[in-house]
Amino acid sequence: MSLVRCDISVSADGYVAGPNQSMENPLGEGGESLHDWTFGLEAWRKAHGMEGGEVNASSPVVEERIANVGAGIMGRNMFGPGPGPWPAEPWNGWWGEDPPFHHPIFVLTHYPREPLTLTDTTFSFVTDGVESAVKQAREAAGDKDVLVHGGGRVVQQLIAAGLLDQLELHISPIILGSGTRLLDNLGPGVSFEQVRVIEAPGVTHLKYRVRK
Q: What is the CATH superfamily name and number for domain 4-211? A: Dihydrofolate Reductase, subunit A (3.40.430.10)
User: What is this structure's pTM?
Assistant: 0.93
DSSP lists the bridge partners of residue 207 as 168, 196
pLDDT given for residue 154 in this prediction: 95
The pLDDT-based confidence of 47 (bands split at 50, 70, 90) is confident
Backbone angles phi, psi at 74, to 5 degrees: -150, 165
Q: Which of 146, 129, 128 is nearest to 137 (CA)?
A: 146
Average pLDDT, the chain: 93
**C-alpha span between 154 and 105 (Å, rounded):** 14
Predicted pLDDT of residue 81? 75
What pLDDT does residue 51 have? 92
| Percentage, residues of the chain above pLDDT 70 | 100
More confident residue, 70 or 26: 70
CA distance 42 to 88: 40
- Report pLDDT for 82: 73
Count other C-beta atoms under 10 Å from residue 91's C-beta: 12
